[in-house]
Copies of this chain bind each other. A is one copy, B any other.
Amino acid sequence: MVNGVPRQKPAPLSTGLGRRSSAGPRRSKAAAEAILDAAEAVLMEAGYAGFTIEQVARRAGAGKPTIYRWWSGKPALLLEIYARQRLDLSGTDTGSLEGDLVALLRRLFRFWGATPAGQAFTAILVEAQHDPAALQALRAFLAERTYPLAEPFDRAARRGELASDFDLATTLDLVSGYVWARLLTRRLDDDDPALPAAARTIARGSLRS
């Protein structure tokens, strides 16, 4: 599990074994990595709108059936791409909830802008609007996304700073909603003075007075 996204496992090897002569031996870790690399490249170059299984197959030099044998569809592939990215949170423990939130928001916006994660997450949000499996995966992501968005609140709780009626799930919904709205409107400037203002409001709403 990375960034709270449950890692999607390829379909069991027994599925479709022998359906094609190339299927067995090519279902190696290396082949899966090559497809994931190709999928990331397509996302970075063409964005969510140009991301199709056909483009990924062409780029990877693989057949579409191979991809569909390993992933149930675009959402599963996108979730695995998202899970592959590494959000580095080192240095975001600043000693205060507000400082931690500013650092986290900046790190997340840079991460979404600089890696395939931003396009992948955008695509997952879109797929969830017409694909029930993608919606279910997105909700599971929300239920499990205790990291990294929860870390600043965990630290504040350990310092005894949170209000007695602090509600972690609701607060994470607020923070997630904020960053999703910025992602969906392409406002990921990590120098935006709105980020400290948002962090201040959330922190003030969470801390004991």
Using CB atoms and an 8 Å cutoff, list the residues of chain A in contact with chain B.
47-49, 122, 125-126, 128-130, 135, 138-139, 142, 163, 165, 167, 169-171, 173-174, 176-182, 184-186, 194, 197-198, 200-206, 209
Contacts and interface: CB of A to CB of B under 8 A. Distances in A.
Main secondary structure on A side of the interface with B: helix
B165 A194 contact: no
Given A130-B49, A209-B209, A194 B181 contact: no
5 contacts: A49-B129, A126-B129, A167-B201, A203-B205, A205-B206
B205 A202 contact: yes
A186 B130 contact: no
Contact of A186 (B135, B178, B205): B135
A197 B163 contact: no
From A130, A180, A205, residue with most partner B Cβ within 10 Å: A205
Contact of A182 (B126, B177, B205): B177
Given A180-B177, A194-B170, A201 B205 contact: yes
Contact of A181 (B47, B176, B186): B176
A5 to B, nearest CB: 15
Nearest to A171: B201
Contact of A174 (B47, B165, B178, B186): B178
